[in-house]
Amino acid sequence: GAVVSQHPSRVICKSGTSVKIECRSLDFQATTMFWYRQFPKKSLMLMATSNEGSKATYEQGVEKDKFLINHASLTLSTLTVTSAHPEDSSFYICSARRVIREGELYTGELFFGEGSRLTVL
Amino acid sequence: AQSVAQPEDQVNVAEGNPLTVKCTYSVSGNPYLFWYVQYPNRGLQFLLKYITGDNLVKGSYGFEAEFNKSQTSFHLKKPSALVSDSALYFCAVSRRALGSSNTGKLIFGQGTTLQVKP
Protein backbone atom coordinates (compact mmCIF):
# COMPACT_ATOMS: atom_id res chain seq x y z
CA GLY A 1 0.00 0.00 0.00
CA ALA A 2 0.89 3.64 -0.16
CA VAL A 3 3.35 4.98 2.38
CA VAL A 4 3.27 8.20 4.33
CA SER A 5 6.37 9.10 6.26
CA GLN A 6 6.28 11.40 9.25
CA HIS A 7 9.40 12.88 10.84
CA PRO A 8 10.51 13.16 13.57
CA SER A 9 8.73 10.35 15.40
CA ARG A 10 9.65 11.87 18.74
CA VAL A 11 10.81 15.31 19.70
CA ILE A 12 11.50 16.94 23.03
CA CYS A 13 11.94 20.69 23.17
CA LYS A 14 12.12 23.53 25.61
CA SER A 15 9.22 25.84 26.18
CA GLY A 16 9.28 28.78 23.79
CA THR A 17 11.02 27.03 20.92
CA SER A 18 9.48 26.10 17.60
CA VAL A 19 9.23 22.57 16.27
CA LYS A 20 8.69 21.44 12.68
CA ILE A 21 7.08 18.12 11.79
CA GLU A 22 7.22 16.80 8.24
CA CYS A 23 4.71 14.62 6.45
CA ARG A 24 5.73 13.04 3.15
CA SER A 25 3.81 10.86 0.76
CA LEU A 26 6.53 8.56 -0.54
CA ASP A 27 4.95 6.91 -3.54
CA PHE A 28 2.06 9.11 -4.59
CA GLN A 29 1.23 12.76 -4.99
CA ALA A 30 -1.10 14.28 -2.45
CA THR A 31 -2.75 17.61 -3.15
CA THR A 32 -4.49 17.32 0.18
CA MET A 33 -3.07 16.34 3.53
CA PHE A 34 -4.61 16.51 6.98
CA TRP A 35 -3.12 17.21 10.37
CA TYR A 36 -4.59 15.65 13.49
CA ARG A 37 -3.81 15.97 17.16
CA GLN A 38 -4.39 13.09 19.52
CA PHE A 39 -4.49 13.30 23.30
CA PRO A 40 -3.80 10.20 25.43
CA LYS A 41 -6.46 7.54 24.88
CA LYS A 42 -8.54 10.06 23.01
CA SER A 43 -9.75 10.46 19.51
CA LEU A 44 -8.08 12.33 16.74
CA MET A 45 -8.93 15.99 16.51
CA LEU A 46 -8.69 17.39 13.02
CA MET A 47 -6.57 20.51 13.18
CA ALA A 48 -6.36 21.60 9.58
CA THR A 49 -6.51 20.63 5.95
CA SER A 50 -3.33 21.27 4.05
CA ASN A 51 -3.75 22.12 0.37
CA GLU A 52 -0.82 22.12 -2.02
CA GLY A 53 -0.15 25.57 -3.35
CA SER A 54 -2.67 27.36 -1.18
CA LYS A 55 -3.35 28.27 2.39
CA ALA A 56 -4.34 25.63 4.88
CA THR A 57 -7.90 25.47 6.15
CA TYR A 58 -8.01 25.41 9.92
CA GLU A 59 -10.72 23.90 12.06
CA GLN A 60 -12.58 26.05 14.52
CA GLY A 61 -10.59 26.70 17.66
CA VAL A 62 -7.19 25.94 16.14
CA GLU A 63 -4.81 28.88 16.18
CA LYS A 64 -3.30 29.25 12.73
CA ASP A 65 -0.51 31.47 14.01
CA LYS A 66 0.38 28.82 16.54
CA PHE A 67 0.28 25.86 14.19
CA LEU A 68 1.79 26.90 10.87
CA ILE A 69 1.12 24.59 7.98
CA ASN A 70 2.95 24.65 4.68
CA HIS A 71 2.23 22.38 1.74
CA ALA A 72 4.97 23.40 -0.63
CA SER A 73 4.98 20.38 -2.89
CA LEU A 74 2.74 17.49 -3.88
CA THR A 75 4.58 15.17 -1.52
CA LEU A 76 5.37 17.29 1.50
CA SER A 77 3.40 19.11 4.15
CA THR A 78 4.93 20.57 7.29
CA LEU A 79 3.42 21.52 10.62
CA THR A 80 5.36 24.00 12.73
CA VAL A 81 4.37 24.44 16.35
CA THR A 82 5.54 27.93 17.15
CA SER A 83 6.61 29.04 20.61
CA ALA A 84 5.70 25.66 22.00
CA HIS A 85 4.40 25.32 25.54
CA PRO A 86 3.80 22.23 27.70
CA GLU A 87 0.11 22.21 26.80
CA ASP A 88 1.14 21.65 23.17
CA SER A 89 2.59 18.29 24.14
CA SER A 90 0.68 15.71 22.18
CA PHE A 91 0.76 13.08 19.47
CA TYR A 92 0.43 14.69 16.04
CA ILE A 93 -0.61 12.56 13.08
CA CYS A 94 -0.77 13.47 9.43
CA SER A 95 -2.64 11.80 6.62
CA ALA A 96 -2.38 12.14 2.87
CA ARG A 97 -5.17 11.65 0.41
CA ARG A 98 -4.52 9.60 -2.68
CA VAL A 99 -7.03 10.07 -5.47
CA ILE A 100 -7.55 7.15 -7.79
CA ARG A 101 -9.27 7.40 -11.12
CA GLU A 102 -11.27 4.35 -12.14
CA GLY A 103 -12.72 5.19 -15.52
CA GLU A 104 -15.05 8.09 -15.01
CA LEU A 105 -15.11 7.58 -11.27
CA TYR A 106 -12.70 9.19 -8.85
CA THR A 107 -12.19 7.50 -5.54
CA GLY A 108 -9.84 8.35 -2.76
CA GLU A 109 -8.15 6.84 0.22
CA LEU A 110 -6.33 8.29 3.19
CA PHE A 111 -2.97 7.03 4.34
CA PHE A 112 -1.67 7.94 7.75
CA GLY A 113 1.79 8.69 8.98
CA GLU A 114 3.17 6.96 12.05
CA GLY A 115 2.72 10.03 14.18
CA SER A 116 5.06 12.42 15.99
CA ARG A 117 5.12 12.64 19.75
CA LEU A 118 5.95 16.14 20.91
CA THR A 119 6.99 16.76 24.49
CA VAL A 120 7.50 20.34 25.56
CA LEU A 121 9.42 20.80 28.80
CA ALA B 1 -22.86 18.70 11.03
CA GLN B 2 -21.49 15.21 10.78
CA SER B 3 -20.52 13.20 13.82
CA VAL B 4 -19.58 9.71 14.88
CA ALA B 5 -20.26 8.01 18.19
CA GLN B 6 -18.55 4.98 19.62
CA PRO B 7 -20.53 4.31 22.79
CA GLU B 8 -18.02 1.96 24.40
CA ASP B 9 -14.67 3.15 25.71
CA GLN B 10 -13.51 -0.43 26.01
CA VAL B 11 -14.60 -3.84 24.82
CA ASN B 12 -13.28 -6.98 26.47
CA VAL B 13 -13.55 -10.35 24.79
CA ALA B 14 -11.94 -13.76 25.19
CA GLU B 15 -9.76 -15.08 22.42
CA GLY B 16 -11.75 -17.17 19.96
CA ASN B 17 -15.02 -15.44 20.76
CA PRO B 18 -16.78 -13.12 18.33
CA LEU B 19 -16.30 -9.42 18.81
CA THR B 20 -18.35 -6.33 18.02
CA VAL B 21 -17.25 -2.72 18.24
CA LYS B 22 -20.15 -0.34 17.89
CA CYS B 23 -20.39 2.82 15.82
CA THR B 24 -23.26 5.13 14.99
CA TYR B 25 -23.08 8.16 12.77
CA SER B 26 -24.91 11.32 11.90
CA VAL B 27 -24.44 12.91 8.51
CA SER B 28 -26.59 14.61 5.94
CA GLY B 29 -26.73 12.82 2.65
CA ASN B 30 -24.96 9.58 1.86
CA PRO B 31 -22.27 8.67 4.34
CA TYR B 32 -18.87 7.28 3.58
CA LEU B 33 -17.83 5.15 6.56
CA PHE B 34 -14.46 3.82 7.63
CA TRP B 35 -12.80 1.77 10.32
CA TYR B 36 -9.19 2.25 11.36
CA VAL B 37 -7.02 0.51 13.95
CA GLN B 38 -4.22 2.07 15.96
CA TYR B 39 -1.51 0.28 17.89
CA PRO B 40 0.32 2.11 20.72
CA ASN B 41 2.37 5.07 19.54
CA ARG B 42 1.62 4.29 15.92
CA GLY B 43 -0.39 5.87 13.16
CA LEU B 44 -3.72 4.57 11.93
CA GLN B 45 -4.12 1.54 9.73
CA PHE B 46 -7.06 1.24 7.37
CA LEU B 47 -9.35 -1.75 7.98
CA LEU B 48 -12.34 -1.27 5.71
CA LYS B 49 -14.75 1.20 4.21
CA TYR B 50 -18.33 1.49 3.04
CA ILE B 51 -18.95 3.66 0.01
CA THR B 52 -21.89 2.04 -1.74
CA GLY B 53 -23.19 -1.38 -2.65
CA ASP B 54 -23.43 -4.35 -0.30
CA ASN B 55 -24.17 -3.44 3.27
CA LEU B 56 -21.72 -6.05 4.56
CA VAL B 57 -18.18 -4.93 3.97
CA LYS B 58 -15.20 -7.22 4.43
CA GLY B 59 -11.82 -5.79 5.30
CA SER B 60 -8.35 -6.60 6.53
CA TYR B 61 -7.41 -9.20 9.15
CA GLY B 62 -10.79 -10.93 9.01
CA PHE B 63 -12.78 -7.88 10.09
CA GLU B 64 -16.12 -6.95 8.60
CA ALA B 65 -18.70 -4.27 9.19
CA GLU B 66 -22.36 -3.92 8.42
CA PHE B 67 -23.87 -0.70 7.22
CA ASN B 68 -27.38 -0.23 8.60
CA LYS B 69 -29.00 2.87 7.20
CA SER B 70 -32.16 2.72 9.31
CA GLN B 71 -30.16 2.49 12.52
CA THR B 72 -27.37 4.76 11.22
CA SER B 73 -24.86 2.23 12.43
CA PHE B 74 -21.66 0.71 11.10
CA HIS B 75 -20.58 -1.86 13.70
CA LEU B 76 -17.25 -3.62 13.32
CA LYS B 77 -17.25 -7.38 13.77
CA LYS B 78 -14.98 -10.38 13.71
CA PRO B 79 -16.12 -13.99 14.15
CA SER B 80 -13.14 -15.09 16.21
CA ALA B 81 -10.97 -12.63 18.11
CA LEU B 82 -7.19 -12.91 18.42
CA VAL B 83 -5.01 -11.52 21.20
CA SER B 84 -3.17 -9.57 18.50
CA ASP B 85 -6.42 -7.75 17.68
CA SER B 86 -6.04 -5.81 20.94
CA ALA B 87 -5.74 -2.17 19.92
CA LEU B 88 -7.62 1.12 19.65
CA TYR B 89 -10.31 1.17 16.97
CA PHE B 90 -11.72 4.25 15.32
CA CYS B 91 -14.85 4.65 13.27
CA ALA B 92 -14.91 7.62 10.89
CA VAL B 93 -17.33 9.29 8.54
CA SER B 94 -16.96 11.51 5.55
CA ARG B 95 -19.79 13.38 3.94
CA ARG B 96 -18.18 13.33 0.54
CA ALA B 97 -16.13 10.85 -1.38
CA LEU B 98 -12.45 11.19 -0.68
CA GLY B 99 -11.81 11.40 -4.39
CA SER B 100 -14.17 14.29 -5.02
CA SER B 101 -13.06 17.83 -5.55
CA ASN B 102 -14.17 18.49 -1.99
CA THR B 103 -11.53 17.53 0.50
CA GLY B 104 -13.71 14.77 1.92
CA LYS B 105 -12.19 15.13 5.36
CA LEU B 106 -12.81 12.42 7.92
CA ILE B 107 -14.45 12.94 11.27
CA PHE B 108 -13.48 10.32 13.85
CA GLY B 109 -15.32 8.76 16.74
CA GLN B 110 -13.73 8.84 20.16
CA GLY B 111 -12.23 5.41 19.78
CA THR B 112 -12.83 2.05 21.44
CA THR B 113 -10.10 0.05 23.10
CA LEU B 114 -10.41 -3.64 22.30
CA GLN B 115 -8.87 -6.00 24.81
CA VAL B 116 -8.70 -9.65 23.79
CA LYS B 117 -7.65 -11.95 26.60
CA PRO B 118 -6.10 -15.39 26.10
Q: Is some CB atom of chain B closer than 8 A to the CB atom of A116? A: no
Determine how many CB atoms are found less than 10 A away from the CB of residue B33.
23
* DSSP secondary structure of B45-92: EEEEEE-SS-SEEE-GGG-EEEEETTTTEEEEEESS--GGG-EEEEEE
pLDDT confidence of residue B54: 87
A72: confidence class by pLDDT, cuts 50, 70, 90: confident
pLDDT in tens, B21-71: 999 999 887 788 999 999 988 888 989 988 878 899 999 999 999 999 999
Which of B35, B36, B44, B90 is the best substitution to test chain A (most A C-beta atoms within 10 A)? B44
Question: What is d(CA A45, CA A62) in angstroms, rounded to the nearest whole number?
Answer: 10
How far lies B102's CA from each of A9, B9, B96, in Å? 30, 32, 7
pLDDT in tens, A51-66: 888 889 999 999 999 9
Closest chain B C-alpha to A57 CA, distance in angstroms:
10
How far lies A79's CA from each of A34, A43, A48, A105, in Å? 10, 19, 10, 32
